[in-house]
Chain A
Amino acid sequence: MAINREQALAATLVGASARVDVSVAPRFAVGDRIRVRNINPRGHTRMPRYLRECVGIVERDYGVFAFPDTHAHGGGETPQHVYSVKFSAKEVWGREGGERDFLVVDVWDDYMDPAS
């Protein structure tokens, strides 16, 4: 597959999305309390290590995207929802976290469980 000048220019200026155009049921809804799984894969992941076991609130559902952990290793796109999840700095950094600070992180469906 070759690309022409116009296609190259468009991709360079606006980038390419990992969005996948299939319908997949979301496991979470805006407002849900979630806990990030304690995962430590040997391969690729987009789950930052500082989020392991942290509890946050789903703020937004971005839609369906390829799952990096399988997509990086010939395992297919494993399409699933990605959410914007808000974590308090205290939850992530413990007592050193700022009282009024929050982290908002993009988290894939397979990185999370419901938090009780």
Chain B
Amino acid sequence: MNGVHDLGGLDGMGSIVVEQDEPVFHAEWERRVFGMFLPIFACGYYNIDELRHAIERMGAQAYLNTSYYEHWLHAFETLLVEKGVITAQELAERRAAVAKGAA
């Protein structure tokens, strides 16, 4: 089917922003998300195509309203819950703790 991620030829998305002296990461949390990719992969919890598909399953609105590394984080969470490494409840509890200021 036509996925929202398949943007080639789609009009109305605005111009591509090219940053001068673009930093590798725009925030510390992006660095941490990048660092999570390889250990989870090396533990065998996903292959690259499963990871891409997990991003594609976000839903069109969420996909367009979130950034590149938010897509990655969403995919890690989705696949680690689906593969039974963490539970949805553990994820929710951790989210709540972070929202309250936990590191």
Chain A residues with a Cβ under 8 A of chain B: 1-3, 7-8, 11-12, 16, 18, 40-44, 48-50, 66, 68, 71-73, 92-93
Contacts and interface: CB of A to CB of B under 8 A. Distances in A.
Contacts, number: 51
A40 B1 contact: yes
Contacts of B52: 44, 68, 72
Nearest to A41: B1
A49 to B, nearest CB: 5
B19 interface: no
Contact of B49 (A8, A16, A68): A68
Nearest to B7: A48
Given A49-B6, A71-B47, A72-B52, A42 B38 contact: no
A50 B2 CA distance: 10
B38 A72 contact: no
A72 B42 contact: no
B48 interface: yes
A73 B47 CA distance: 10
A1 B44 contact: yes
A3 B8 contact: no
B3 to A, nearest CB: 8
Contacts of A11: 38
B43 interface: yes
Contacts of A43: 53
A44 B6 contact: no
14 contacts: A1-B42, A3-B38, A3-B39, A8-B42, A11-B38, A40-B1, A40-B2, A44-B52, A44-B56, A49-B8, A66-B47, A68-B49, A72-B49, A73-B50
A74 to B, nearest CB: 8
Contacts of B50: 71-73
Given A1-B44, A71-B47, A12 B8 contact: no
Contacts of A92: 9
A73 B11 CA distance: 30
Contacts of B38: 3, 8, 11-12
